[in-house]
Amino acid sequence: MRDDLTVVYYTSNREDERFEARIRRSIRHASRGVPIISVSQKPIDFGVNICVGEVGVSGLNAWRQFQIGVQAAKTKYVCPAEADTLYPKEYFSFVPPRDDMYYLAPLYVCFSQRGYGKYFARKSRGSESAMVVNRELVLSRLEVMYDGLPTWGPDFDAVWLLGKQPREFFHMNTPVVSFKTDRNMHRKTPHEIDDRIRDLPGYGNVRELIGRYSK
């Protein structure tokens, strides 16, 4: 078990509870004993839980919850884990060679919304929801990002977590998979429209994966 990494799981508890419970079970299995801090809007039994109350669904609130979890962590590195995302074991074993922000790739979106085609599509630019980063570095970035902003509130467009902060990519054998569901905060997400597939190594068929987690 690693002693230099903390998983920071954050959720608005908006997804179906059965779905979120399956995601948490997957994270617990893949992280293999790495400490977990969960920051939720309803109490949950997952690692050390910090419940902030029903503050609402927004990007500002999501990253604020992440910030609260990072502040509570005591390890050199932290990695986010979201309530709609599957992470392979490699994600939790990666050790950054430098104190930069590392996106772990590839990342695929699993489109599972009702009334739309079911497929995987690569998100080539990665996501802050799949990174391993030095705790002090990301805390300093979050402090800059939230300077002058309210603790909780609606979405905002003025700042971005990474800004011009340098980042690196680390490529894994098994992808990170983010579900796009009807209960996501955003209906759409950027992805490679020419890279739509029905079967993904490590996960199998898209409809079978959706069935295992969403039904």
- Provide the residue count of the chain: 215
Q: What Å distances lie between residue 170 and 38, 56, 73, 90, 163, CA to CA?
A: 25, 33, 23, 10, 19
| Residue 111 and residue 118 in contact, taking contact as beta carbons nearer than 8 Å | yes
Find the mean pLDDT for residues 69-98.
97
User: What is the structure's pLDDT at 113?
Assistant: 81
Asked whether the predicted pLDDT for residue 132 surpasses 80, the reply is yes
Q: Where are the domains of the chain?
A: 5-214
Vertex 185, ends 151 and 203: CA angle to 5°?
A: 125
Give the pair of three-digit tokens for residue 34. 């790495």
pLDDT tens string 54-77: 999 988 899 999 999 999 999 999
In this prediction, residue 111 has a pLDDT band, given cuts at 50, 70 and 90, of confident
Please name the amino acid found at residue 189: T
- For 151-210, what is each residue's pLDDT tens digit? 998 876 555 665 556 678 999 999 999 998 866 655 566 556 677 899 999 999 999 999
CA distance 192 to 108: 9
Fold of the domain spanning 5-214 = Spore Coat Polysaccharide Biosynthesis Protein SpsA; Chain A (3.90.550)
Measured over all CA atoms, what is the biggest interatomic distance in the chain, rounded to whole angstroms? 46
Measured between alpha carbons, how far is 113 from 119 in angstroms, rounded to an integer? 10
Give the range among 9-23, 37-51, 99-113, 163-177 with minimum mean pLDDT. Answer: 163-177
Query: DSSP E strands: which ranges in the chain?
Result: 5-11, 36-40, 48-51, 77-82, 85-86, 101-111, 119-122, 131-134, 167-180, 196-197, 199-200, 204-205
- Asked whether the beta carbons of 130 and 196 are under 8 A apart, the reply is no
* % of the chain at pLDDT higher than 70: 89
Q: What is the pTM of this model?
A: 0.92
Q: Is the pLDDT at 44 greater than 70, yes or no?
A: yes
